[in-house]
Amino acid sequence: MFEFLEYGLCNKFFPGSTMHIVISVFAVFIIGYLLGSLNFGVIISKIVYHDDVRKHGSGGAGATNMLRTYGKIPAALTFLGDGVKSALAVLIGAIFLGHNPMYAGTYIGGMASVIGHAYPLYYKFKGGKGVASTFFMVLCTEPLIALICFVMFAAIVFGTKYISLGSIMCAMIYPLILYRMTGVPGMHVLIAIFLALLIVYLHRENIMRLINGKENKISFKKKKKDNGEENK
């Protein structure tokens, strides 16, 4: 997607300059982190509902907890907002460092956005689990891998009704598919491994609930009102 910025402005104007590469990496990471810290679950819940979604459900600020707490539209807006900020971080990484295995500017920007989402500077470092942000990063950098992960996620969720299980499995398979498709053990693969481990870590409580059979399932059916509500 970013072939026109394969090596970025830094490598175009300062080829071989280690100092400029380090400065660019730092700039991409900081900008990506600050963008990631704009947690749309918290923003929407505070502006629309005068509440904080992190006080409910799993305590997270992602689209899943928004869905369970406020409904489909707030969850969709959260998913879209968290995705857009990740895409912007990827674009900034492409502009500075390019989209290539060696400097991996797009991956550095995306990774920083995910970290910011999970540990947002603006909201006392308590955010979401980074699944939407990671998905949009993959969508921008490797669309085919994003499609594969989405199909796998949908199959797992529809089969088991566990969103967390689908997220964990896709995170774990992502670096393997990336390496198999690119065939280059570069910085981009290391970042993918880091993101996979981060997402698994952020889902540690979900993993324990899955093991103990206490994890909440997602429902694809509308809840039926009880007789008392129906007669009102």
Q: What tens digit of pLDDT does each residue of 201-217 get?
A: 999 999 999 999 888 88
Q: Which of 46, 221, 202, 224 is nearest to 115 (CA)?
A: 202
Let me know if residue 226 belongs to a domain. no
Mind listing the pLDDT tens digit for each residue in 108-152? 999 999 999 999 999 889 988 999 999 999 999 999 999 999 999
Let me know if residue 200 belongs to a domain. yes
Sign of the alpha-carbon dihedral angle for 89, 91, 94, 95: negative
State the residue range of the domain holding 199. 3-219
Sign of the alpha-carbon dihedral angle for 69, 72, 73, 74: positive
Instruction: Give me the residue label for tokens 């830094």.
Output: 10
Specify the long-range contacts of residues 10-15, CB closer than 8 Å, at least 24 apart: 10/96, 10/97, 10/98, 10/103, 11/97, 11/98, 11/103
φ, ψ (nearest 5 deg) of residue 149: -65, -40
Q: Quick count: other Cβ atoms within 10 Å of Cβ 56?
A: 15
Let me know if residue 187 belongs to a domain. yes
pTM reported for the whole predicted model: 0.86
| Distance in angstroms between the alpha carbons of the first and the last residue of the chain | 55
Let me know if residue 227 belongs to a domain. no
